[in-house]
Amino acid sequence: MPDPGALRFPDGFLWGVATSAYQIEGGVRQDGRGPSIWDTQCHHTNLVRDGHTGDVAVDHYNRWADDVELMAALGLQAYRFSVAWPRVQPTGSGPANQPGLDFYSRLVDRLLEKGITPALTLYHWDLPQALEDRGGWPERDTAEHFAEYAQIVFGALHDRVRIWATHNEPWCSSLLGYAEPSHAPGHTDAVEATRAIHHINLSHGLAVRAMRAIDPRPQQGVVINLMPIHSVGPDPDGAAADGARRYDALRNRVWTEPMLRGRYPEDALADLAAYGGLPVEEGDLEIVAQPLDWLGINYYTDDHVRAEPGGSWLATPGMRDAVPFAPGDEHTDMGWPITPDGLRALLVELKDTYADLPPVYITENGCAYDDPVIDGAVHDERRIAYLDAHLRAVHAAIEEGVDVRGYMQWSLMDNFEWSHGYHKRFGIVHVDYDTLERTPKDSAAWYREVIARNGLAAR
């Protein structure tokens, strides 16, 4: 039967979900794991809502086998997860902690047994505290340590894991972590943030190079949370437009330009000069610009900037007289406007900007809504509507010629949402935080159908 309005994705399109270690694993003291900067942020600051911690999270470290069963029951084809560096190297350097590596090895084996493709991210923000104590990402050494860690994990899993990412959302690990306190390590120092930007870029290139030297076959990529930025409202002096450009430079182009073109944007260089400048040494940019097999894009919303004399945003050094804000009436529980066409436009712009753009995966997309369990069910229609709209946007981008190979919904289950603690629920599976019981939401059943038909039914 023809189904007008139905959309089919290209054959072989990979459908999955994404999670990250600190947000789901718990087990922070099991099997020799060392402390990370997020343990410190949770336990030794008041920067996480209600003092929540990832100590238990959703106990995936102990319930991983059941969670893989759940993924299989949902018909998932791929699972994007991150490895906790402090499980593998408890102090961030030195020999591998074998029990930590074994955890991921067992997980990968079980995923493969179930026909689920593992997609591994090496760094989703949980820097070993010992490395932060030695200066963290503002120090060049941390980039070298990251490459060593990458080699250890790659050495153990390259025979079974085909899709590798170095970093998740480097903007958060650098600018949010070091210039704005809501993310670990909770500093407010734009000089540190500036140095962290370059060392994270460098660590990406060093790691890709080192892993390829071991085995060139696995697909190497990186995950960036690119965010289209628009200036809005009265802007007689052009402050908002200028703010949007500067924000775009530090939010988006400071990653895409060095990684894809081997250079930093002139406007970012100019703004960051006020903070000591990027600590680029000879040869660094060639290292950063390793050819990539794929690019991961995390997309939740567009951002907007309006003029505000005297206003500035700490996480964006250099931006003055302008501030980001969230226009519109339709927001998710994060307060983020719902802007699905922004994803289509972003993908098309990337294709038009980078002639040799590698194939793209949408590595995260999703929304926080707090819908209750009623009689064993969770009716999360708003999530279904959000995901449907964003998948239509991805499909439109594919029709406009963007090579998108897969989509990973964020997130498999409700989990620890960083400075918001457990207050924001992104899962297609509900978690009861008292019992840790998992209850698939209506969106999980809907997503299973999407995967089964490799597309969307008519709306």
What burial letters (b/e) apply to 363-378, b meaning 16+ CB within 10 Å?
bbbbbbbebeeeeeeb
Nearer to ligand IFM, 96 or 391 (CB): 391
At closest approach, how far in Å is the CB of 417 from ligand IFM? 5
Ranges of beta strands (E only) in 154-254 are 163-168, 219-224, 229-231
At closest approach, how far in Å is the CB of 38 from ligand IFM? 11
255 binds ligand IFM (CB under 6 A): no
410, 422, 446, 447: which one contacts ligand IFM (CB under 6 A)?
Answer: 410
Note if 286 is an active site residue.
no
Tokens of 316: 């964006």
Question: Of 233, 238, 225, 234, which Cα lies nearest the Cα of 183?
Answer: 225
Question: Of 161, 82, 97, which Cα lies nearest the Cα of 415?
Answer: 82
Nearer to ligand IFM, 119 or 285 (CB): 119
Question: Of 107, 172, 79, 166, which Cα lies nearest the Cα of 407?
Answer: 79
Residues 35, 184: Cα–Cα separation, whole Å: 13
Q: Residues touching ligand IFM: how many (CB under 6 A)?
A: 8
192, 284, 414, 417: which one contacts ligand IFM (CB under 6 A)?
Answer: 417
Nearer to ligand IFM, 231 or 298 (CB): 298
Question: Of 130, 156, 173, 168, which Cα lies nearest the Cα of 211?
Answer: 156
Note if 169 is an active site residue.
yes
Residues 361, 394: Cα–Cα separation, whole Å: 10
121 binds ligand IFM (CB under 6 A): no
The catalytic residue among 25, 169, 192, 417 is 169
169 binds ligand IFM (CB under 6 A): yes
Nearer to ligand IFM, 193 or 408 (CB): 408
At closest approach, how far in Å is the CB of 25 from ligand IFM? 13
Which positions from 54 through 113 interact with ligand IFM, judged by CB under 6 A? none
Nearer to ligand IFM, 85 or 426 (CB): 426
At closest approach, how far in Å is the CB of 20 from ligand IFM? 5
Residues 309, 327: Cα–Cα separation, whole Å: 19
In terms of C-beta distances under 8 Å and separation of at least 24 residues, what long-range contacts does 211-215 make, across chains too?
Answer: 211/150, 211/151, 211/154, 211/158, 211/164, 212/290, 214/151, 214/154, 214/155, 214/158, 215/154, 215/158, 215/159
At closest approach, how far in Å is the CB of 418 from ligand IFM? 6
Question: Of 181, 224, 175, 215, which Cα lies nearest the Cα of 199?
Answer: 175
First to last CA, the chain: 16
Nearer to ligand IFM, 325 or 336 (CB): 336
What burial letters (b/e) apply to 264-292, b meaning 16+ CB within 10 Å?
bbebbeebbeebeebbbeeebbebbbbeb
At closest approach, how far in Å is the CB of 260 from ligand IFM? 21
For 288, the 3-state DSSP assignment is: helix
Give the contacts of 136 (CB within 8 A, at least 6 positions apart): 37, 127, 142, 178, 185, 192, 196
The catalytic residue among 25, 139, 364, 417 is 364
364 binds ligand IFM (CB under 6 A): yes
298 binds ligand IFM (CB under 6 A): yes
At closest approach, how far in Å is the CB of 164 from ligand IFM? 18
Nearer to ligand IFM, 323 or 367 (CB): 367
Q: Which residues contribute to the site for ligand IFM (CB under 6 A)?
A: 20, 23, 169, 298, 364, 410, 417, 426
Annotated active-site positions, please?
169, 364
